[in-house]
Structure 1
Amino acid sequence: MRIVFMGTPDFAVPALQALRKAGHDIAAVYTQPPRPAGRGMDLRKSPVHEAAESAGLEVRVPESLKSEAEQKRFAELEADAAVVVAYGLILPKPVLAATKQGIFNIHASLLPRWRGAAPINRAIMAGDAETGVAIMRVTEGLDAGPVCLVERMQIGPDMTAGELHDALAARGAGAMVKALAALQDGTLDCQAQNDTDVTYAAKINNKETRIAWTLPAQDVHDHIRGLAPHPGAWFELKQGDRAERVKVLGSVLADGSGVAGTLLDERLTVACGEGAVRLTKVQRAGKKPVTGEAFLRGTSLRKGTVIG
């Protein structure tokens, strides 16, 4: 099929590669324009931009698709279908109607659960035991289109958002290849979502990333792994007159109890509102991630200290 691919982050790269491997003709790749990044704030191309250029594909980086000129350029590609994976721009109605067989999206949840911007993080933070990817026909509503194919997977008890992200990116790529094959032979069956089961995965707000030790240990653990590695849950470390944020990138449930936020041993086990968690990987500002034990060796913190 003649396909337009629309995506931006690394989550979308496996899908682009899988579509090429499956033999589809990628008419053009749409992605977000290069943005300032890094310490020097140099312009940096998106992961999809880099992958498309290395494959010799045409790359388009419009700031918006709202103008008639951009919509005409899109329509002139005369694509059979378009594939959208975390593109980041709203698709106006003329774009939605510009392909022969429709536009299809890879969404990293079991729709209608976790529509919206952060389905991977929210699923873990909510303690979900299962998630997956949904191939959805794109409509004007937010992730509200009919679902055409679903791939399910279990969320491990200590799985982080980063690990789940990579697993779902691979699953989504395979699912989209299956969906387009079914579209091609006329067997793709897309079913309307049940609006009574909708939940929304709001974008992660920096104000909610601080760890609340007063919560039960399971909730603290889910909060930490749902934000790892980005943007990272954190607690405040005070030593003398200095205070700094320490990111927590890994944790496990642990035995123990005490006043919330209290260090229970020399392995960075911290008491929660109920139970305790052991912090297995932490990162101080400007430093590399280290184990909990290595972190403690570089501080004056001892058993019985209340952190945060």
Structure 2
Amino acid sequence: MNLVFLGTPDFAVPTLKALHASRHTVQAVVTQPDRPKGRGRAAQPPPVKEFALAHGLDVLQPTKASAPDFVEQLRPMKPDLIVVIAYGQLLKPNFLELPKHFCMNIHASILPKYRGAAPINWAIINGETETGVTTMKIDPGLDSGDMLLIRKVPIGPDDTAQDLHDALADAGAKLALESIDQLEAGTLPIAPQDHDEATFARKLKKEDGFICWTQSAQRLHDLVRGLNPWPGAYTFLNGHRLKLYKTETAPRQQKDEAGRVMRVTKHGIEVATSDDRLILTELQPEGKKKMNAQDFLAGHDVQIGDRFESAPQPIQSD
């Protein structure tokens, strides 16, 4: 089949790689414009562009994919299918009508749960033990089109957002090819979503990482995992911000008080929560690199009874 591919970040690269290596033809790769990045704020190409150029694929970077002039630029290609994964824009009807069949999205959740920008993070934050990828026909709504195929992926108890990102990216690549093969064979199932069951995974903000110590230890452990590597969970101790990257839970003891340091060992700093304890095992002080608890304690005086500042309200996905 003749394909046009839309994608931008690392998550989209395995799917593009799989399509490029397949018997199908990637006519063009559409990705977001280069953006300023890093301390120098120099314009950097998105990962999809880097892969495409390295493999001789044509790259297009419109400001708006649904702009009439860009739609007319694509029209002569007459693609059989347009494949979209983590592109970063809603597509309008004038774009969706371009391919012979339809525009197909690979979404990082089991729809209709976790529609939106951050399904991987929110699945972990909410303590899910399973998620997946869904291929779907794109409609003008937000991840609301008819579902095609689903592949489930387990979430381990200590998986971070990065771990799950990588697993789902690989699963999405396989599912995209499977969906295209079934489309060609005329066996691809199509099922409408139950919109009453839909949940939304809004885009994360840096302030979402502020720890609320009056929550449970498991909830905070899930928050730390779900915000690793970005934006990172954080708290304040003695007026200094600490980012938390790895944690464990441990049973509470009598007289624990939420937010208080209850035990300090080389393995970690045990902090009381609303029920059990959260053990901080990998931290990042302001202006420094991530380090394990032992290295952190070598340069910071943390005493039993010290109190971490707490966010006034826990975060919600929608």
What TM-score results when the alignment is normalised by the length of structure 1? 0.96
User: Which residue number corresponds to residue 291 of structure 2?
Assistant: 290
Mapped to 2, the partners of 1:302 and 1:237 lie a distance apart of 11
User: Which residue number corresponds to residue 19 of structure 2?
Assistant: 19
Mapped to 2, the partners of 1:213 and 1:161 lie a distance apart of 21
Shift of 1:250: 1.1
Structure 1 runs (4+) deviating above 6 angstroms are none
User: Which residue number corresponds to residue 108 of structure 1?
Assistant: 108
Shift of 1:89: 1.8
User: Which residue number corresponds to residue 245 of structure 2?
Assistant: 249
- Could you report, residue by residue, the CA deviation over 1:79-107 in whole angstroms, capped at 9, with x for unpaired residues? 11011011012212111000001111110
On the 8 A contact 1:282/1:292 being kept in 2, the answer is yes
Mapped to 2, the partners of 1:264 and 1:25 lie a distance apart of 60
Mapped to 2, the partners of 1:153 and 1:89 lie a distance apart of 26
Match for residue 262 of structure 1 among 241, 260, 263: 260
On the 8 A contact 1:3/1:82 being kept in 2, the answer is yes
Shift of 1:292: 1.8
Alignment of 1:187-266 (within 5 A): 187-238=187-238, 243-257=239-253, 258-266=256-264
Shift of 1:168: 0.4
Letter in 1 for 2:125: M
Mapped to 1, the partners of 2:135 and 2:241 lie a distance apart of 39
Secondary structure class of the residue paired with 1:218 = helix
Mapped to 2, the partners of 1:67 and 1:112 lie a distance apart of 28
Mapped to 2, the partners of 1:114 and 1:244 lie a distance apart of 34
Shift of 1:285: 2.5
Mapped to 1, the partners of 2:95 and 2:75 lie a distance apart of 7
Mapped to 1, the partners of 2:176 and 2:285 lie a distance apart of 40
On the 8 A contact 1:84/1:105 being kept in 2, the answer is yes
Mapped to 1, the partners of 2:5 and 2:171 lie a distance apart of 17
Shift of 1:160: 0.9
User: Which residue number corresponds to residue 75 of structure 2?
Assistant: 75
Mapped to 1, the partners of 2:298 and 2:214 lie a distance apart of 25
Alignment of 1:40-189 (within 5 A): 40-189=40-189
On the 8 A contact 1:125/1:225 being kept in 2, the answer is yes
- Could you report, residue by residue, the CA deviation over 1:102-157 in whole angstroms, capped at 9, with x for unpaired residues? 11111000000000111011111111111000011111111001110000011111
Letter in 1 for 2:263: D
Secondary structure class of the residue paired with 1:115 = coil
Count of residues paired in the alignment: 304
Mapped to 2, the partners of 1:232 and 1:109 lie a distance apart of 21
Mapped to 2, the partners of 1:95 and 1:207 lie a distance apart of 35
Mapped to 1, the partners of 2:60 and 2:174 lie a distance apart of 25
- Structure 2 gaps of 5+ residues are 310-318
Once superposed, what is the RMSD of the aligned Cα atoms? 1.1
Shift of 1:74: 1.6
Mapped to 2, the partners of 1:134 and 1:271 lie a distance apart of 39
On the 8 A contact 2:90/2:142 being kept in 1, the answer is no
Mapped to 2, the partners of 1:213 and 1:256 lie a distance apart of 14
On the 8 A contact 1:268/1:293 being kept in 2, the answer is no
- Could you report, residue by residue, the CA deviation over 1:23-59 in whole angstroms, capped at 9, with x for unpaired residues? 2111000000000000100000000010110011000
Mapped to 2, the partners of 1:56 and 1:229 lie a distance apart of 31
Mapped to 2, the partners of 1:95 and 1:9 lie a distance apart of 21
Mapped to 1, the partners of 2:125 and 2:187 lie a distance apart of 36
Shift of 1:217: 0.7
Q: Percent identity?
A: 40
Secondary structure class of the residue paired with 1:251 = strand
On the 8 A contact 2:79/2:100 being kept in 1, the answer is yes
On the 8 A contact 2:66/2:94 being kept in 1, the answer is no
- Higher mean alpha-carbon deviation, 24-33 vs 279-288, is at 279-288
On the 8 A contact 1:250/1:279 being kept in 2, the answer is yes
Letter in 2 for 1:282: L
Mapped to 2, the partners of 1:253 and 1:180 lie a distance apart of 44
